[in-house]
Amino acid sequence: MFLHAPPFLSCVLKLFTMFRNYIKIAWRNLWRRKLFTTVNILGMAVGLICVAFLALCVQQMLVRDKFHKNLDRLYLVQTDNGQQSVYPLLKEMLASFPQVENGTRILQWDAPWFSYQDKEVSEAITYADAGFFKVFTYPLKYGNKDNALKDKFSIVLSSEVAHKLFGSENPVGKTLELSDKRRLIVSGVMAPIPPNASLRPAVLVSTENLDAKADFKDMGDWYNCFTETFVLLKPGASTATVEKQLKGVVATRFATGAKDRVMSLMGYGQFANKYGELNIGFYVYGLSCIALFILIIVAINLVNLNMAVSLTRIQEVGVRKVMGAGRKGVLLQFFTEAGLTVGIGCLLAWGLAFVLMPVLNERLSGIQLTSSMLYSLPFIGGWLLGIMLLTLIAGGYPALYLSAVKLVNAMKGKLQSAPRKVFSQRALIIAQFVIAVVFITGSLVMRQQLRYMEEGDVKFNKAQVLTLRLDLDYKDTAQARSSINALMDRLRQYPQVQGLSTSQSVPGKYYENYNTFVPGNDQNKELSMRQAYIDNGFLTVFGVHFLEGRNFSPDLVTDEKAVVINQTAMRQLGWTSIAGKTLRTKGGKEDFPVIGLTEDYHYRSLAGSVQPLIHFYGGKTAMHDWYNYLNIHINPKDAAPVIAMLRKGFENIPSHRAFSYSFADEIFNEQYKRIESLIALINYFTLISVVIACAGIFALVSLAAQQRTREIGIRKVLGAGIVSIVALLSKDFIKLVGIAVLIAAPLAWWLMNRWLQDFAYSIKISWWLLAGAGLVTALIALFTVGTQSLKAALMNPVKAIKTE
């Protein structure tokens, strides 16, 4: 057929025919060994799905906020206490700092309901200045970014909020009514925000709205830090010069008690890592290591499985050589089969990644993946590179080994050196199970640490406190206040109810609200304390013990200016008693008598230590605008009728949000959701690593049984029992697993001790955790090896002896 074709075309056609034959033969071989093919492809696909998702997560973290065009000139103005600065600072910088090109403040103050016709949504408003869209790169789908926040009546919506209210139509120019009676005109709709953005505003409104709020004016001074201030410097501007000018502003403009603050600039590229929801550095390192470990297990598994199958074809290699095939031809055939296997596995993994991505996004916190990432050029390029590397790894070792077998031995089906005796293959098995044991140990330690934090002594009553949300956005606040106070009166009549309290915060939900206090008799000492408002029943309902002094009393007018502190606050102030002690805010002139000292109860996660805490009296137990929670001391077994009464009562109070309740332990343990997600992720990776490792050892046992088929037959004829045959085939592999456990135990102990160092209260890694991980691994491996060994032991000895 190539007689009259040009030489070049003839060569191409011959190559095409040759590769078509290689692929056809490869497909037949894979189809003939369905079990091995299925195990190989599924193990690889599952492992590669994990690697793909982990790679995408790492990639998103590495390019966090990189879409901003002026990222190299974009800075956060931070203080020595954190990311927030005083509200008036930006105007001063724009007016007197020549190096500053533009800037914007960002803060959230309220979350009203927005309504348009019969649709309404509730979103937290992000207040920003007119320069927001010049500082940050958030393109608008509708509207003009130059005047989107030009006045106090403008509002910019995210694409998600705009779709909820207006569907697919352009809403620019339409009016939104807010639950606080404001009317704002839509001036823009943002394009979908990139998934790697740290700042994701749902609704943007001009800061001019805050300037007009009565409850805001007292806060927006040169003392209180609650505003994130971002500035865009001019090209070539010196950050050192700007920071020097900031020192001058602190000295001349800041309030008396704030003149010792240190202000500095931090590049926005570092913002996510320092102040974001995720510790980017930790997760990039951790997820990269996990991805590498899984990739190693997948590669080892591919080599082992392909070797196990390839060595059954030793006579086929001999026949090919007799028929004139050279070593290159044998190599090409094995590489073709490996490439076909890897290609099918990668294609299956890629398809399953689309299906599983929504499930993964539900478990991710602080990062979101999109399906478009799976067909981006960098991902496709990396995927194709991975296919080539895995093909070389999977096909290379078996192909090189078999192509080097002597022709005489190949025709007899004899192997020169059984792979089970090769050190490298044993090392691969050990490496697989070392990784599996480390994963299992990590999973057990994490689960134990989580249980310790969830069940640990938090020094307050979290098992018998029913908590209701009071901030339900009532349509008539005055009526709601009256109705809720009436419900509280009814609650007091229930014998099951042992106490009531209303509060601004509850343990696990304390605001990040800090202030600096100084002792009234020693202005040289100062202490930053978290502050909160409570009623006279809060500490009693939550069972917080007093070490000295007393609780707030609604009968004493003087308690309106009194405070209660915790043990840590007293210790850091250098006091031994609170008797006669007073505190005042730094720079303030009013003294607050310290009337009570509480035990250090854990008002936040046990991951951190107890910080200094100060409580102010917010008024007696009743519905107040500043109280967000109603707390009821009641046994959960007796709570059903009380909850039913409250549900019915709240259904008669018109509100935007529905009635909801939780017990204090449920609220407190919500803090551990992120670690729960991490544990779920580690459990999944643990399962994957164990399954893939066992698949590899399954293949090697099959190979060992096949190589020793005649030996097994002779042993059975001479009287060997099934148990001895199983032991014969299993012992070498179980030894390797034992070695892996011994290597992995100290490694896992070291790694998990490093992880536990981030917790203020942590478990000690017991020997039984390490032993348990090793035992679980050994049992799983023994089951895998034992089942295949049993199959070989049950073989007909007559057939076995005839095998050559």
- Kindly state whether residue 11 falls inside one of the protein's structural domains: no
Q: In this structure, are residues 704 and 729 in contact, taking their beta carbons and an 8 Å threshold?
A: yes
Q: From CA 358, how far away is CA 775, in angstroms rounded?
A: 35
- Kindly state whether residue 351 falls inside one of the protein's structural domains: no
Q: Which residues pair with 655 in a beta bridge?
A: 474
Which residue type does 596 have? G
DSSP-derived letter for residue 561 is: G
Question: Pick from 363, 329, 370: which is nearest to 197 by CA?
Answer: 370
Which residue type does 777 have? T
Q: In this structure, are residues 517 and 692 in contact, taking their beta carbons and an 8 Å threshold?
A: no
DSSP string, 427-466: HHHHHHHHHHHHHHHHHHHHHHHHHHHHHS--SS--SSEE
Last residue of a domain, one of 227, 257, 275: 275
Judge if 605 and 556 occupy the same domain.
Answer: yes
CA dist list (Å): 228 to 105, 365, 460, 602: 6, 22, 34, 29
Q: From CA 138, how far away is CA 78, in angstroms rounded?
A: 23
The torsion defined by the Cα of 487, 626, 635 and 509, in degrees rounded to 10, comes to 150
Q: In this structure, are residues 647 and 407 in contact, taking their beta carbons and an 8 Å threshold?
A: no
Last residue of a domain, one of 615, 643, 671: 671
Which residues are CB-contacts of 576 (< 8 A; sequence separation ≥ 6)? none
Q: From CA 298, how far away is CA 50, in angstroms rounded?
A: 11
Q: From CA 116, how far away is CA 163, in angstroms rounded?
A: 12
- Kindly state whether residue 211 falls inside one of the protein's structural domains: yes
Its domain, for residue 661, covers 465-671
CA 731 to chain centre: 41
pLDDT number for residue 595: 94
Could you tell me the two tokens for 543? 């069972």
3-state secondary structure of 371: helix
Judge if 647 and 734 occupy the same domain.
Answer: no
Helix 673-707 vs helix 767-793: crossing angle, to nearest 10: 30
Judge if 727 and 616 occupy the same domain.
Answer: no
Which residues are CB-contacts of 706 (< 8 A; sequence separation ≥ 6)? 311, 312
Judge if 506 and 548 occupy the same domain.
Answer: yes
Judge if 544 and 613 occupy the same domain.
Answer: yes
Could you tell me the two tokens for 107? 């803060």
Last residue of a domain, one of 275, 300, 324: 275
List pLDDT tens digits, range 351-398. Answer: 888 888 887 777 666 667 777 888 888 888 888 888 888 888 777 666
Rg (CA), the chain: 35
Judge if 616 and 520 occupy the same domain.
Answer: yes
Give pTM, 2 decimals. 0.74
- Kindly state whether residue 324 falls inside one of the protein's structural domains: no
Q: In this structure, are residues 173 and 180 in contact, taking their beta carbons and an 8 Å threshold?
A: no
pLDDT number for residue 424: 64
pLDDT number for residue 421: 42
Question: Pick from 686, 603, 223, 709: which is nearest to 433 by CA?
Answer: 686
Judge if 627 and 769 occupy the same domain.
Answer: no
The torsion defined by the Cα of 200, 205, 211 and 215, in degrees rounded to 10, comes to -70
Taking 3-state DSSP, the helix, strand and coil percentages for the chain, each rounded to the nearest 5, stand at 55, 15, 30
Judge if 523 and 610 occupy the same domain.
Answer: yes
Positions of the chain with pLDDT under 50: 1-2, 407-408, 410-411, 417-421
pLDDT number for residue 431: 83
- Into how many domains does the chain fold? 3
List pLDDT tens digits, range 408-456. Answer: 454 455 555 444 445 566 777 888 888 888 888 988 898 899 899 988 8
The count of C-alpha atoms lying within 13 angstroms of the C-alpha of 39, restricted to the half-sphere facing its C-beta, is 21
Q: In this structure, are residues 229 and 85 in contact, taking their beta carbons and an 8 Å threshold?
A: yes
Judge if 184 and 93 occupy the same domain.
Answer: yes
Helix 7-32 vs helix 327-363: crossing angle, to nearest 10: 60
| Three-point CA angle 380, 384, 388, nearest 5° | 170
- Kindly state whether residue 340 falls inside one of the protein's structural domains: no
Q: Which residues pair with 474 in a beta bridge?
A: 655
Q: From CA 472, how far away is CA 755, in angstroms rounded?
A: 40
- Kindly state whether residue 295 falls inside one of the protein's structural domains: no
Scanning 85-136, the segments in alpha helix (DSSP H) are 89-96, 132-135
Q: Which residues pair with 630 in a beta bridge?
A: 468, 502
pLDDT number for residue 392: 80
- Kindly state whether residue 205 falls inside one of the protein's structural domains: yes
pLDDT number for residue 1: 46
Judge if 684 and 584 occupy the same domain.
Answer: no
Per DSSP bridges, beta strands 263-267 and 613-617 are: unpaired
Judge if 103 and 191 occupy the same domain.
Answer: yes
Question: Pick from 765, 700, 772: which is nearest to 741 by CA?
Answer: 772
Per DSSP bridges, beta strands 613-617 and 527-534 are: parallel
Q: From CA 679, how far away is CA 687, in angstroms rounded?
A: 12
Token look-up 């890592």 returns 273
- Kindly state whether residue 570 falls inside one of the protein's structural domains: yes
Label residue 484 exposed, middle or buried (CB < 10 Å: 0-12, 13-18, 19+). Answer: buried
Judge if 231 and 93 occupy the same domain.
Answer: yes
